[in-house]
Every structure is written in C-alpha cells, then in structure tokens.
Amino acid sequence: MEPTNTGIGELAGINGENNAPQVKDSSTSEFRTDVIEASNNTIIVVDFWATWCGPCKTLTPILEKVIANSKGLVGLVKIDVDKNPELSSQLRIQSIPAVIAFSNGQPVDAFQGALPESEVQKWIDQLISQHGKKVAPSPVEEALISAEQAFENNDIGSAGALYAQVLNIEENNTKALAGMAKCYLKADKIDKAREILDKIPDELSADENIRSVISAVELAEESSSSTEDIENLLEILQKDPKNLQANFDLGIALYGNGEAEAAIDRLIEVIRENRDWRDGEARQQLLKIFEAHGPTDPITISGRRKLSSILFS
C-alpha cells in the first residue's frame, strides 16, 4: 500500500480542470460558440460593459469573483459594447452594466446596474439551483469514490493503491491521507498508520477526516497495548460488577476485539456509576469512539443516545 505511480497517467494533468472557471472576452462573431453553444453544457453569464462605464468597474470584478467560486457550474463571458454594437442592439442592451444568463441556448435571467456582492451571489446561487448542470466528478474524486467502495468491500489492497494514487497528485488530500491510515489499521499495521499521521501538517489536523482517523489510530494503539484479557475482566466483574477500572479496561479490550457496541456499553456503565471517574476518562474515551466512527455511523448515533440518557437524566 505504499504510494506508487501506478495509474497516475489517468489522473495527472487533468486534476481540477472540471472545476476551472470559464472567464473570457468575446465578440459578435464568437457569441454563438462562446455563449449559445457553451450554455448547453453550463450556465453562461454575459457581462455587457464599456471602458468608460464606472459601475461596470465595480460589478465586473464581483462577477468574476463569485463565478470563480462556482466550481465550474457557471461561466463568464464579457462583451465590450463599444466594440460590438451590433450584438448589443440585437439583444436590446439599452444601458450598462447589463448582465444576461444563458442556459440551453436561451436567456433565462438578467439584471441591469451594479449590485453588491451579496446580491450577485444570491442571483448566481438561484441560477445554479434552477438551471445548473450536474458536473462529472474529477479523476481524483472518482479515485476517492472507488477507494471508499473498495474499502467498504474489504478490498484493502485496491483501496490503498487508489489512495496512494491520489496522494501522488495531491499530497495533502485529507480524504486520501485518512483513507491510507485506515487501510493500514484494517491490515493491523498500526505503526504504519501512525507514521502517516505524524507527517500530516498541523494546519490539516482540524479537518474532520483527519480528526476521525487520529481517534481511530489512538484507539487501536490503546487496545494493542492493553494487557488485559477479556475473560479475566469478565470474571472480575462477575464478583464485583461495579469495579470501574475493570469496566473501563473491558471497554478498551472489547473495542480492540472489534466489539464497538459492547465497548460503548461498558464505558456507559462507568459513567453511570461515576461521571467524573479519573477526570471523566470514560466519557473522553466514548467521544473518541464517536469521532473515529463519524457522526452518521449507527454505532455513534446509538452510543450518543445512551450517553445523553445518562447525562440528562
């Protein structure tokens, strides 16, 4: 599962192009290609402007900024009305700045005058909502989707190879970094997973994918270092059911044995008996499990419900 260059040719060079904003100057002769035909693939916003127009100098940079952030869902075409009077006349442009949106070869919305950025953003958002085309995932996104599917199917080798391909292109892609670490965890190579985490830049540590895998690696490390035997702990608890240390240790051991729900139940028992035991260590351990599994995992949802029933009872 070490990063390799296998298959990189299909990904390199075109990564990100699907999301590149289309911003260009056009003319009467190019209008059919740049606007009418292009609008069959994506929304095209046409900005009619002139060098002497003061409000145009305010509006055009706003349009460029908002459309650049549309992830390729909207393109911008700029028309100088002084250089293209015939086109302006055909489209009945009476004052500038004038902005017309095209989709599927037809005008679908328009406004005149300079608008503040918030209003332009709202207008663009509405265009996307009503007329936006579905954008095909980029090659990197497709690789990540395939890697996640392979991981879910327990094909760890294929998942790791796909994550490695992505990391050869985007070395700080948090989904791929987290995915590689999880592949190593699945293969019981905790040290390799830790190596990946130790190389992740500090500025990425707040990313939800990274936070999740950090918790997963820490849980795996704790479980692997535990010397407690599940059967021995069960014997202790049979004699002393309220032994908090034994319940806590059993939770760690059960989680390392792949029994997450049973582990949560043991930690819940510790909290039920004493919420502040060892400065709330059982609750901290529960939160770590929830973060490792993610907010939508049934294990997290069920565990949080059980925790809430105790904390707010």
CATH 3.40.30.10 spans which residues of the chain?
17-131
190 pLDDT more than 70 = yes
Under CATH, domain 17-131 is a member of which superfamily?
Glutaredoxin (3.40.30.10)
288 pLDDT more than 90 = yes
Active site residues: 53, 56
CATH 1.25.40.10 spans which residues of the chain?
139-209, 226-311
**Cis ω before 97 (30° cut-off from 0):** yes
12 pLDDT more than 70 = no
How buried is 279 (Cβ within 10 angstroms: 0-12 exposed, 13-18 middle, 19+ buried)? exposed
**How much is the pTM?**
0.59
For the structural domain made of 226-311, what CATH number should be given? 1.25.40.10
How confident is the model over 106-141, as pLDDT tens digits?
999 999 999 999 999 999 999 998 888 765 677 898
Q: Which CATH number fits domain 139-209: 1.25.40.10, 2.30.30.230, 3.40.50.460, 2.60.40.10?
A: 1.25.40.10
Instruction: Answer for the pair 299, 307: CB distance below 8 angstroms, yes or no.
Output: no
* Residue 181, phi then psi, degrees to nearest 5: -60, -40
Band (71; pLDDT cuts 50, 70, 90): confident
